[in-house]
Chain A
Amino acid sequence: MLKVNNKGIVAEVAKITYRANWKRNLLTIFAILLTTFLISIVIAIGSSYWDAISQRQLRMEGMDYDISLTEPKKEQAELIRSMENVKWAGLSVKCAIAEKYQDLSLGKSRLYWVDDTCWNRQIIPALETWKGTYPQKEDELLLSEPLLKAMGIKNPKLGMKLPIGYFSLADEGGEDGDEEALVQKDFTLCGWYRDYSGRQQGYVSKAFFRTTGVKQTDLTQGSLKITLKSPFYTKEDIVSMQNAVKIGRQQIIEADYDTISTFLKMLVVLALMLIMIFVTGYLFIYNSLYISISKDIRYYGQLKTVGMTSRQLKGIIYRQTLTNSLIGIPLGIISSALVSGIIISGILSAMDPLSADAVSPAQLWVYLISGVFAFLTNLLSSKKPAKIAGDCSPVEAIRYTGVKAGRRAKKREQAGIGAMAFQNMFRDKKQAVIILMSFTIAIAVFLVINVVVRANNAEHLLNSIYSFDIEMVNETSIEENEHQIFTEKKLAQIREIPSVKDVRTVTAARAVIPYDEAFLGEYYRELYKSRYTPGNYEKDIKLYKHDPANDLFLSRLVGIETDGKEFELLSQEADGLNAADFEAGKTAVTVRGVMVDSDCHMKGKTAVFSLPQSPQPKKQHSLRIAAVTRHCPAVFSEGYTPELIVSQTFAEKLLGKTFTEVVRVTYDEAFSKETEKQVRAVFAGEKDVTYNSKLDRYDEMQHSQNQVMVLGGSLGVLIALLAVLNYLNMMAASIQNRSKEFAALESIGMTSRQVRKMLSLEGAGYGILSLVAAAVAGIPASYLVFESTNLYGGLSWSVPWGSNLLLFAIVILLCMAAPVLLYRRTQKASIIDRLRAQEG
């Protein structure tokens, strides 16, 4: 058979068809453009956002490593460094505590020595900024900004002298070391840094470290920070590492065995999110082509009647697909690059010049994937009508209406506008499902992203960590010179500040609890079995029984307000706490601390104690233990015996006058600079008060907060845009397609106002249904996504109702307004012209 040269005519028909359908093609190009644009930009912004919150998380932790070996011996460290799967291992030793700067209390700030690997590879990556060099000379110090602030140094200068009172951790007293060991030394500031850990700490030189006498193998002081080549490890990996280094009795390798499962969970969730975004993009293109499917089938049927083969039909479709893709995809990619590279970066650098590079330009593969995806979706969707036309005879194709014959009779007697709108929504069930599905998915993705973005907002993050705005500690507690600073007068002054919402206090006094096998037996056995064991069990317990007031075994009687936040927090942790009994002094809560792993059956037991600082120091009191908690609301502890938490009323009854150790203040408006200034002013000049402020932490995080906010906000807006544009595109195509019907309705007397009302009701219907479905699917999904991507463990899931409701309102308004506007813009021709345009 001779080959017929009909390429020319096929190309010509394709060209004519393309031009004739220019409006529809414009919508398709728009759909392709948007799909390419949104997929590539969502991936680009999404990964930049992820980088920003991961970076912030790293800075909040203050160091970049995977696992750590406590109290490492030299040979253990060497062995670990030589291991196949270890990238590097840096040594960090806590060697001294800075207690005083001039006469200012520093709240026991830790001083570390770290080796070059630790500093260069593990600490520097976790710093936002740093200036100077790591200490080389014996008197050099590199300090964190919070510590400089505690010293009252606002404008630090390299080389400035810092007279500091410190004690070495080699002393018996450990971190709670006594005053006699305090050494005065003039240090020189050789640098400072900012991370988001909020820790008051510093780094010292190797020479200084040597002078302290602390060894890297000292309990809780030395630690080998290990960065693995692959951050995914199993418990077996750690056990084999432990065996290889012949781990000592008190040593442990601190590791998180959930790393792999956490990562996999996160991966699955991120993949699902990505799939949802792809599905929305797919439906976007598919919809705009599907809406005019009947017309296309009829047209292809006509072409077949005049002798066009299926192959030639395909040729026409390929040309159309290619043309639309060649226009839509590059435009989408260019817009994506422009928006991420110029607009979002511009906003970021306008807010903070340091953040300009926060948006990493989308990598080539992102553009490639989104472009190929848009092309394939377009091709598949375009081929569908040709396939249907090819599957039936040309005449059947010409008559194709898409409406299945034998639509069942409906015994209804409605013809009102509302009923018409409802019928229109589901006139083509498949189409209605697609419209609702794509809209629903896009809104659900928005709801999910919104939850993640809000949860990772610095304010929300800090509100989850802090139960107060500022905490003030009396640093003279448990010291020789212990004296009341938080007097009633001062507290009243704070309470009088109008923008202060709540002031809560924690009192504390020394308590002596004689050894009692029933109450403390199990606790002490567990403690001495743990890696924190204070020494020889038999010897120490003998000493305890003989001298309960020995420093090693002292306890504290901690008083809190029963009607305040402190009790509320305590109740959350301590089960079965009755407020009335607690207030009346019938019960107490005991603190087991973090050194033992269980409650040691202390609940229900009776604690007998005396209070040496009370008017009757020898008198013994007894209390039933109602609950056991891990965390103590007070800051300082004395010996190893668990503290007793009681009501302040009861503490006052026993002690006469109580000593306030901690004051925690909450403001009407969190992060209020003005209120903070007023609160701090109350203790201005007071040397022995240290502050722990949420606002300070927020200020430290400001730089990354800008990034997180702009990137997260952009992500939310883009996803919302995806939902909205998807709907607009579909409505535009739908209205274009129903042109004849509108004309028929108008011809029998429907006013354009009534048409508009019908359309806006239809839109509202789609909007409401999509929102309900999106809320039902999106809110639980947001919980799952939040749980799997929660980098900071303490964060709590909550729904940002404000922005969600705003989106809901916008969606409803848009759903109602868009079809009306589209109708107005597209149905301008006379009724007759519109009736005729659709015929044939």
Chain B
Amino acid sequence: MDILIAENLKKYYETGQVTVKALDGINLSVKKGEFVAVVGTSGSGKSTLLHMLGGLDNPTSGRVIVGGLDISKMTKDGLAVFRRRKIGFVFQNYNLLPLMNVYENIVLPIRLDGIRPDKKYVGQIVTLLGLKEKIYAMPNQLSGGQQQRVALARALAAKPAIILADEPTGNLDSRTSQDVLGLIKTLGQRLGQTIVMITHNEEIAQMAQRIIRIEDGKIYGGGEEHAESK
């Protein structure tokens, strides 16, 4: 069952008299529980694609369907609700809120939905991510790897349909990168989570079940095929 579908997705930017085609007719689908890596060089349009899939940006044309819902038609606030319920974002620079401690950062999307956090589930994630000791620490007391683990915990806490990770290891050293990726993959499998990860690193991309290659806003491979599970 396809949980994520992009149909003829286009994103054009007008800069003076030049039209930049960041995405130029992308078609892709992702099955539930799949771990997909989107690979491309800098400026290929991979981040733009991720933003479109997560409803962070509006496409110029085309549709994005998540769990049967066409998000292209949603209002701004509707998209925000959609994101906190269906999408878990992991950013390269973590985007943690500096005034909140680890626990508060993790449960924020749940609290924003007006729901009491499932403490047992959150506790499980925190333990799996090795953050138990740091649960009340402030973001600026954590290392980069720890901050990214908090971001991952936050993405998982609301039990989203899809996790979208934008260069999650971009700011981390190689050892910590391996740790974080291992966690993403393990947790994805254990929790049956669909993951779409962006990277420019081939080696990292190899950890995914399927690799989608994007260049100049177009998919050059892997868009709708299923690679063998590693």
Q: Is the CB of B95 within 8 A of A744?
A: yes
Q: Is the CB of B112 within 8 A of A835?
A: no
Q: Is the CB of A409 within 8 A of B80?
A: no
Q: Max chain B CB contacts within 10 Å: which of A744, A751, A839?
A: A751
Question: Does A249 lie at the interface of the complex (its beta carbon under 8 Å from any beta carbon of B)?
Answer: no
Q: Give the segment of A257-265, A411-419, A486-494 that binds chain B.
A: A411-419
Please pick, from A403, A414, A741, the residue contacting B140 in the complex, using a CB distance under 8 A: A403
Question: Does A7 lie at the interface of the complex (its beta carbon under 8 Å from any beta carbon of B)?
Answer: no
Please pick, from A401, A413, A424, A749, the residue contacting B85 in the complex, using a CB distance under 8 A: A749
Question: Does A750 lie at the interface of the complex (its beta carbon under 8 Å from any beta carbon of B)?
Answer: yes
Question: Does B101 lie at the interface of the complex (its beta carbon under 8 Å from any beta carbon of A)?
Answer: yes
Please pick, from A409, A413, A746, A754, the residue contacting B141 in the complex, using a CB distance under 8 A: A409
Q: Give the segment of B51-59, B172-180, B186-194, B210-218 that binds chain A.
A: B51-59
User: Nearest chain-A residue to B160 (Cβ)?
Assistant: A749
Q: Is the CB of A416 within 8 A of B111?
A: yes
Q: Is the CB of A415 within 8 A of B100?
A: yes
Given contacts A415-B108, A748-B83, A749-B80, contact A409 B97 (CB under 8 A): no
Size band of the interface chain A makes with B: 35 or more
Question: Does A832 lie at the interface of the complex (its beta carbon under 8 Å from any beta carbon of B)?
Answer: yes
Interface string of A807-840 (1 = CB under 8 A from B): 0000000000000000000000011100100010
Which residues does chain B contribute within 8 Å of A831, judged by CB atoms?
A: 51, 56-57
Q: Is the CB of A750 within 8 A of B112?
A: yes
Which DSSP category, helix, strand, loop or mixed, fits chain A's interface? loop
Q: Max chain B CB contacts within 10 Å: which of A401, A416, A832?
A: A832
Q: Is the CB of B56 within 8 A of A749?
A: no
Interface residues of B in 96-139 (CB under 8 A from A): 97-101, 103-105, 107-109, 111-113, 136-138
Q: Is the CB of B80 within 8 A of A751?
A: yes
Q: Is the CB of A751 within 8 A of B57?
A: no
User: Nearest chain-A residue to B107 (Cβ)?
Assistant: A415
Please pick, from B57, B103, B154, the residue contacting A748 in the complex, using a CB distance under 8 A: B154
B132 → chain A, closest Cβ, in Å?
A: 13
Question: Does A9 lie at the interface of the complex (its beta carbon under 8 Å from any beta carbon of B)?
Answer: no
Interface residues of A in 793-807 (CB under 8 A from B): none
Given contacts A415-B104, A749-B112, contact A835 B95 (CB under 8 A): yes
Interface string of A583-620 (1 = CB under 8 A from B): 00000000000000000000000000000000000000
Given contacts A415-B100, A415-B107, A416-B111, contact A749 B84 (CB under 8 A): yes
Question: Does A405 lie at the interface of the complex (its beta carbon under 8 Å from any beta carbon of B)?
Answer: yes
Question: Does A423 lie at the interface of the complex (its beta carbon under 8 Å from any beta carbon of B)?
Answer: yes
Q: Is the CB of A753 within 8 A of B108?
A: no
Q: Is the CB of B81 within 8 A of A415?
A: no
User: Nearest chain-A residue to B119 (Cβ)?
Assistant: A413
Q: Is the CB of A751 within 8 A of B138?
A: no
User: Nearest chain-B residue to A836 (Cβ)?
Assistant: B47
Question: Does A406 lie at the interface of the complex (its beta carbon under 8 Å from any beta carbon of B)?
Answer: yes
Q: Max chain A CB contacts within 10 Å: which of B57, B80, B82, B91?
A: B80
A832 to B22, CA, bound (A): 14
Q: Is the CB of B103 within 8 A of A747?
A: no
Q: Is the CB of A412 within 8 A of B76?
A: no
Interface string of B135-149 (1 = CB under 8 A from A): 011101100000000
Question: Does B77 lie at the interface of the complex (its beta carbon under 8 Å from any beta carbon of A)?
Answer: yes
Please pick, from A403, A409, A751, the residue contacting B101 in the complex, using a CB distance under 8 A: A409
Interface string of A150-182 (1 = CB under 8 A from B): 000000000000000000000000000000000
A741 to B108, CA, bound (A): 14
Q: Max chain B CB contacts within 10 Å: which of A408, A411, A747?
A: A747
Q: Is the CB of A423 within 8 A of B51?
A: no
Please pick, from B51, B91, B136, the residue contacting A412 in the complex, using a CB distance under 8 A: B136
Q: Max chain A CB contacts within 10 Å: which of B56, B57, B113?
A: B56
Question: Does B35 lie at the interface of the complex (its beta carbon under 8 Å from any beta carbon of A)?
Answer: no
Interface residues of B in 26-83 (CB under 8 A from A): 51, 54, 56-58, 76-77, 80-83
Which residues does chain A contribute within 8 Å of B77, judged by CB atoms?
A: 751-753
Given contacts A406-B141, A407-B138, A748-B108, contact A832 B51 (CB under 8 A): yes
Q: Is the CB of B99 within 8 A of A424?
A: yes
Please pick, from A408, A412, A748, the residue contacting B104 in the complex, using a CB distance under 8 A: A412
User: Nearest chain-B residue to A741 (Cβ)?
Assistant: B97
User: Nearest chain-A residue to B77 (Cβ)?
Assistant: A751
Question: Does A621 lie at the interface of the complex (its beta carbon under 8 Å from any beta carbon of B)?
Answer: no
A839 to B112, CA, bound (A): 25
A414 to B101, CA, bound (A): 9
Given contacts A746-B80, A749-B83, A830-B57, contact A754 B99 (CB under 8 A): no
Q: Is the CB of B109 within 8 A of A749?
A: yes
A429 → chain B, closest Cβ, in Å?
A: 12
Interface residues of A in 387-422 (CB under 8 A from B): 401, 403, 405-417, 419-420
B41 → chain A, closest Cβ, in Å?
A: 18
Question: Does A26 lie at the interface of the complex (its beta carbon under 8 Å from any beta carbon of B)?
Answer: no
User: Nearest chain-B residue to A839 (Cβ)?
Assistant: B93
Which residues does chain B contribute within 8 Å of A653, judged by CB atoms?
A: none
Please pick, from B56, B95, B101, B154, the residue contacting A830 in the complex, using a CB distance under 8 A: B56
B157 → chain A, closest Cβ, in Å?
A: 10
Q: Is the CB of A408 within 8 A of B138?
A: yes
A749 to B109, CA, bound (A): 6
Question: Does A207 lie at the interface of the complex (its beta carbon under 8 Å from any beta carbon of B)?
Answer: no
Q: Is the CB of B101 within 8 A of A747?
A: no
Which residues does chain B contribute within 8 Å of A420, judged by CB atoms?
A: 97, 99-100
A424 → chain B, closest Cβ, in Å?
A: 7
Q: Is the CB of B154 within 8 A of A409?
A: no
Q: Is the CB of A751 within 8 A of B81?
A: yes
Q: Is the CB of B89 within 8 A of A747?
A: yes
Q: Is the CB of B138 within 8 A of A410?
A: yes
Given contacts A749-B83, A750-B112, A831-B57, contact A423 B140 (CB under 8 A): no
B218 → chain A, closest Cβ, in Å?
A: 20
A356 → chain B, closest Cβ, in Å?
A: 54
Q: Is the CB of A750 within 8 A of B56?
A: no
Please pick, from B57, B99, B112, the residue contacting A832 in the complex, using a CB distance under 8 A: B57
A406 to B54, CA, bound (A): 34
Which residues does chain A contribute within 8 Å of B99, judged by CB atoms?
A: 420, 423-424, 427
Q: Is the CB of B140 within 8 A of A748?
A: no
Q: Max chain A CB contacts within 10 Å: which of B83, B84, B99, B107?
A: B99
User: Nearest chain-A residue to B93 (Cβ)?
Assistant: A839
Q: Is the CB of A412 within 8 A of B101?
A: yes
Given contacts A407-B138, A414-B104, A830-B56, contact A745 B81 (CB under 8 A): no
Which residues does chain A contribute within 8 Å of B97, judged by CB atoms?
A: 420, 741, 744-745
User: Considering the complex of A and B, which 9 residue pairs feature the smallest CB-CB distances, nearest first?
Assistant: A749-B84, A744-B95, A751-B80, A751-B77, A415-B104, A415-B111, A749-B83, A423-B99, A409-B136
17 A-B contacts, Cβ less than 8 Å apart? A403-B98, A403-B140, A409-B101, A409-B138, A410-B101, A411-B136, A413-B107, A748-B89, A748-B108, A748-B112, A749-B81, A749-B85, A749-B109, A751-B76, A752-B76, A754-B80, A835-B95
- 18 A-B pairs besides A405-B140, A409-B136, A754-B80 with CB distance below 8 A are A406-B141, A410-B138, A411-B136, A412-B104, A415-B100, A420-B100, A741-B97, A746-B80, A747-B56, A748-B95, A748-B108, A748-B109, A749-B87, A749-B112, A753-B77, A830-B57, A832-B51, A832-B56
